Amino acid sequence: MSGERTDGAGIPSIGRLLIDRAASDGDRVYLEDARSDRSLTFTQVACAASAFASRSGLDAHTTVFVREPDPLTFAVAHLWVIASGHRSVPLDPALAPADVARLAGLIASDGDESAIVTADASFANAAGVRRIDPPQLDGQLASGAGAASVFRDGGSAMLFTSGSTGTPKGVELRAEQLAFVGAAVAAHLGLTAEDRGYNPLPLFHINAEVVGLLSALVAGSTLVLDERFHRTGFWRLMSDRRITWINAVPAILAVLATEAIEPPAGLRLIRTASAPLPGPVAEAFAGIPLVVSYGMTEASSQITATPVDAPRAGTVGVPVGTQVQVRVGAGLAEPGEVGELWIRGAGVVSSYFAGAAADRFDADGWLRTGDLGSVDADGYVTLAGRVDDVINRGGEKVYPLEVEEALLEDQAVREVVVVGAPDNVLGAVPVAFVIPAEPVRSDEGDRTLVQRLTALAEERLPRFKRPRTITVVDDVPRAPTGKVQRVRLRGTLTPDR
């Protein structure tokens, strides 16, 4: 099945978007810092980027690593690297020089210069690349011109994804792919110049870069950037900043659902991505439109999303600017039948960097996502988990998501993660890790919760799907976006567990 538009025709480049916004909406605030009074108008972003480009002296196509913890500074550097025809490689600020050197080695090519935007002088020699000081966000922003003179075609963003294999794969997304998906997100959410978005997600991940930075740029709206999610005072911040939409992940919503939800009067919607949204969490936000989405780095972020005015519980919506197929073996699945999801579209890569994992692409340009799911007769997609996460218990298939949903019926549970533990007889058995809604716990309370959940599993699930063990934990291994890292969790298990 297809979304409404998948060809990307007519979408301006990122450089052109910056120029046009500076010309038409120059005095409007584009980026705002959530923890201070700092902000940048569209003109100021263009001016800061122009001054940065002139000072950096990058003439030919260059790979530029961007390592900057301040959200506003990161945004200026990242956008301008792409708009000026270079390759931006966004980095987690926690990465050490040795990590950068390893990534530089993975994408090194003859004749290409490498540089890193960072204030840390130790990176220049240790990473083996030229260091560039971050762009200056000071009084010079009101002057500066000539942005158009330093724009070039050929810009891109390079991100690394390990999927379920743990082996880094480079995903290079062309500027036009990023702009296309940013425009698709803006249109789907109905963003206008009056909107004020809030983004606490890390800017070195594709979601914040496209769903956050680029959708706001396309719409001419304001984006409030937070370095990270803060539970305390969250709703007061939303009110003070006059937020109209929130870019979140289920882990954030699960935390907020444990306390009183006090949305500001102007809040239009909350968009969530990265993982399926548990039913009890969604119910806690009743009355606030939730846009549940599904995406991946290889698709420039968004693949599907629920319509703002037509949500469907349990689904991740319909394709938006992307084509989606469900395949079972060599054929297409019937409506409602679970199979593996394949995608293609203007925002989807046609290969991994250096030809890695070529078997994930077919001759017609479809990408095998590695995700399991189904599409109903109305085109809504429902996820069933990752292919590699399916637990083969003595020949019986157990989808972790259905076990997690059963245990989440207990209101004392905030989150459940089910993985397969090795078993010498059955091959693998499901085990559950439970994060309670109430962080203050006791041994007796944990035992009582486990007993209740064991009884709930016996009531809701057939015997082979019931977790062999249920363990109450404070948290589980996560990526910076909050996404559960099941590979790491499985790595802690042994056949004796």
List, for residues 272-282, the tens digit of each pLDDT value.
997 778 888 89
Q: How high is the pLDDT of residue 461?
A: 94
Burial grade of 183 (CB within 10 A; 0-12, 13-18, 19 or more): buried
Looking at CATH, the fold of the domain delimited by 390-490 is given as GMP Synthetase; Chain A, domain 3 (3.30.300)
Pairing of β 39-41 and β 87-90: unpaired
Q: Is the pLDDT of residue 175 over 90?
A: yes
- Residue 148 is classified by DSSP as G
What pTM was estimated for this model as a whole? 0.86
Share of the chain above pLDDT 70, in %: 92
Q: Which residues contact 360 (CB under 8 A, 6 or more apart)?
A: 352, 367, 368, 370
In the predicted model, what is the mean pLDDT of residues 484-495?
A: 84
Burial grade of 450 (CB within 10 A; 0-12, 13-18, 19 or more): middle
Q: Is the pLDDT of residue 142 over 50?
A: no
Find out whether 281 and 254 touch, Cβ atoms under 8 Å: yes
| Element holding 441 (H helix, E strand) | none
Per-residue pLDDT band at 46 (split at 50, 70, 90): confident
Q: What is the pLDDT of residues 414-456, one digit of tens each?
A: 899 999 999 888 889 999 999 998 877 888 989 999 999 999 9
Q: Is the pLDDT of residue 171 over 70?
A: yes
Q: How high is the pLDDT of residue 293?
A: 96
Find out whether 326 and 334 touch, Cβ atoms under 8 Å: no
Q: How far apart are CA 372 and CA 42, in angstroms?
A: 41
131 strand-pairing partners: 116
Please give the backbone phi and psi of residue 148, each rounded to the nearest 5 degrees, phi first: -65, -30
Q: Which of 282, 296, 251 lies closest to 477 in space, CA to CA? A: 251
Q: Which residues contact 102 (CB under 8 A, 6 or more apart)?
A: none
In the predicted model, what is the mean pLDDT of residues 230-237?
A: 96
Residue 447 token pair: 């035992």
Q: What angle do CA 56, 62, 68 make, to 5 degrees?
A: 60
Q: Is the pLDDT of residue 480 over 50?
A: yes
Fold match between domain 14-375 and domain 390-490? no
Q: How high is the pLDDT of residue 323?
A: 97
Q: How far apart are CA 231 and CA 70, in angstroms?
A: 20
Find out whether 149 and 155 touch, Cβ atoms under 8 Å: no
Per-residue pLDDT band at 164 (split at 50, 70, 90): very low
Cα distance from N-terminal residue to C-terminal residue, the chain: 43
Per-residue pLDDT band at 68 (split at 50, 70, 90): very high
Per-residue pLDDT band at 3 (split at 50, 70, 90): very low
Q: How high is the pLDDT of residue 162?
A: 61
Find out whether 173 and 157 touch, Cβ atoms under 8 Å: yes
In the predicted model, what is the mean pLDDT of residues 173-200?
A: 97
Looking at CATH, the fold of the domain delimited by 14-375 is given as Rossmann fold (3.40.50)
Per-residue pLDDT band at 8 (split at 50, 70, 90): low
The rounded mean pLDDT for the chain is 88
Residue 400 token pair: 């972790």
Per-residue pLDDT band at 234 (split at 50, 70, 90): very high
Q: How high is the pLDDT of residue 296?
A: 95
Share of the chain above pLDDT 90, in %: 59
Could you state, in order of their start, the residue ranges of all structural domains in the chain? 14-375, 390-490
Q: Which of 91, 71, 24, 48 lies closest to 223 in space, CA to CA? A: 71
Within its chain, how far is the Cα of 469 from the centroid? Answer: 31
3-state secondary structure (DSSP) of residue 480: coil
Q: How far apart are CA 281 and CA 274, in angstroms?
A: 15
Q: Is the pLDDT of residue 336 over 50?
A: yes
Beta strands in 308-362, from DSSP E residues, in sequence order: 318-319, 323-328, 331-332, 339-344
Q: pLDDT higher for 293 or 7?
A: 293
Q: pLDDT higher for 496 or 327?
A: 327
Q: Is the pLDDT of residue 6 over 60?
A: no
Per-residue pLDDT band at 165 (split at 50, 70, 90): very low
